Every structure is written in structure tokens, then in C-alpha cells.
Structure 1
Amino acid sequence: MSKNEDQTNWPVWATESIEIADPDSMWLEKGKQEEKQLYELLSPFGIGQVIHIGSTSVPNLPAKPIIDIMADVDSFERITDISALLSSYDWHYVPPHLDNKDWRRFFVKVKNDKRVAHLHLMLKGEKRWEKQLLFRDKLRDDPQLVFEYARLKSNLAKEFNLDREAYTDAKTKFVNLVLRS
């Protein structure tokens, strides 16, 4: 979330530290469960695909233990209705002015004051959609990339432990190199 915002009234999960966990074989199953539930909940809103992405979708990759899901939608016009429905399932809407990414609508699923999942809701045709899948699939296909990415993430988590945006930004060079290869 935006560093320009006053964080004094933010919930605990919004400013939690970055912790990289050892790979967990259950992450793929949890991803499938989140995909299924989100598709069932959101299909009446025109949601098409719901896909597990991010590090937890790559076997043997250490990660923040947060399941990242992306879903596509025709428009953001019904985001208020989507947010109201998802709030009943422990999802918290992070509005674009806090998220600083106008190309998506972002939700965080919280259990016991900890993030357990993210939902990246994107418009159909968003160019980042294919990039997310390509990056995930390249990692899945190359154990050496998994090793390199794991080492990078571990170092960055130590360096930017309390700054999620800086942590994510610092991974961008690696991600772009993988996408170009």
C-alpha cells in the first residue's frame, strides 16, 4: 500500500513484515481451493478465469505463505458489490488510491491478523495477465531459475523486511530478465 498514507490506523496485516517460508506442498492445494471458491462466488459478476499465480504456485520455491490468485473481469463497475460479497469471506478491499496500481483491484484475505491470500482482479485483456502466467510457468520449468529467485527473495526480504513495495520493486529486474529469456 502507498507509503504516502498515514499508517497509524491501518490494520495489523497491512504493515506486517515480510517472511519467506520454506516450500509447502499444501500451497498448490490451497491455491486450488481459493480458485474454486472465488470462481463460485464471483462468476455472477462476469469473472472468467481464476488462476493461482505467484511463488506459492511454483513447487519447491520458498515464498511468503500467501496464496496469490488472479481473476479477470469485463469491468470494475461492480467492484462495490464484489467487495461487499468478499468481505463476508474475510477478504479486505484495498482501494486503488492505497494500492497504487490502477490496472487492478486488490483484495487481501486475512485470518488471525495475517495475510493468507491476495486477489488481483484485472480487466480481461490486461497485458500483465499473460506476463504473470509466463513468469510462473518459466519458474515451474526451470529448477535453476527457482534457485536463483529463492536466493534473491531471501536477500530482499532481509533488506526490505518492513517495506513490501520496495521488496516487490527490487524483484522487478529479475522478473523482466526471466520474461525476456
Structure 2
Amino acid sequence: MIGGARSGKSSYAERRIKELQSNQNDVVYIATAIPTDGDMNERIKRHQEERSSDWHTVEQYKQFNKLKMEGKFLQAKYVIVDCMTVMITNLMFERYTDIDFETINNEQINELELFIEKEVNELIDVCKQLEKSLLIVSNEVGYGLVPAYRLGRIFRDIAGRINQKIASRAEEVILVTAGIPLRIK
């Protein structure tokens, strides 16, 4: 599921999974957000309240091979990841905790993108190996204005390319706008 901010992509992904699941052990919800401030705390709380209490939630944004050791993950048929762009943000700031993104060089940007791509591929590969249906929720960040700051442009470019790579591996891609899903692949 891809779409703009507040487009309804998370709600659509959750409705879709509810239609597919046959029992409460069918779904693992990977929540990628980290509570960094009051606004993010509220967003996390709202998502927790909206999500089915039957689903097993894993709060994680990296090292997805560890999921192979978790019983609830192994039992599940479906995996929702919400949200890829939040995961990308977490990985960007984890990788470069002390760098000035206004002066980062192209070699560092390329290394950062490869680091993020490795984590994304690990997630997809784990789900594929264990025959899980994977739904990824991500923001389409290329429709807006060009960000005024270099950090924003770097993020937009990396997120856009990661979304393209995910879409190329996906069987289906749904664009959600104003709560309305449109199958684009």
C-alpha cells in the first residue's frame, strides 16, 4: 500500500488483512515507529488502538532475520509492515547519528541507501522464505514540493528508490488516495 500522508493506506491494509485472516494467530503487525516526541507518541497510540487486538505486534525496524526465531511470527500467514518510510527514517538516523546531512557526500549517501536496502531485502526475503503474505505500507513522497533542506531531499530520493525496489518485487501494488484503493500493479 502506497499513498500520501493520511491517505488511508494503513486503514486499507488493515481492512484487507481482516478480510483474509481465518484465525487470530494469522497476523503479525510489524510497527516500525519509535516514540521520539509527543506527536509520535500520539500517532503510535492511535495506531495501537485502531489495530486488531488479535494480531501479534512486533516493534522492530531492522534485523528481520531474528523473526525466524519468534513463534508467533512463524505461526502467522500474514505480515503487515507499517510504515516503510518511518523505517527508512529510523535507519537513516541510526546509521549516521553524528553527521550533518547538509554536508554529507554522495559516497556516504550511496552507502546509506545500500544499508537501508539490505534491511528491506532482509524483511522481504524472510517473509518469502517462510511463505508469509507481506503487506508493506509506505508513503509516496515524490508528489510534493522539492524539500527546502538537503536532508529532506536525501530522504525523498532514498524513500522513492526503495519504494520502486519494493514495487518491483511485489505481486501487487495498491495506491491509496482519499481512502480509495487503486491497483497499479
Above 0.5 in TM-score? no
TM range (shorter): under 0.3
> Relative contact order (C-alpha < 8 Å, sep 6+): which is higher?
2
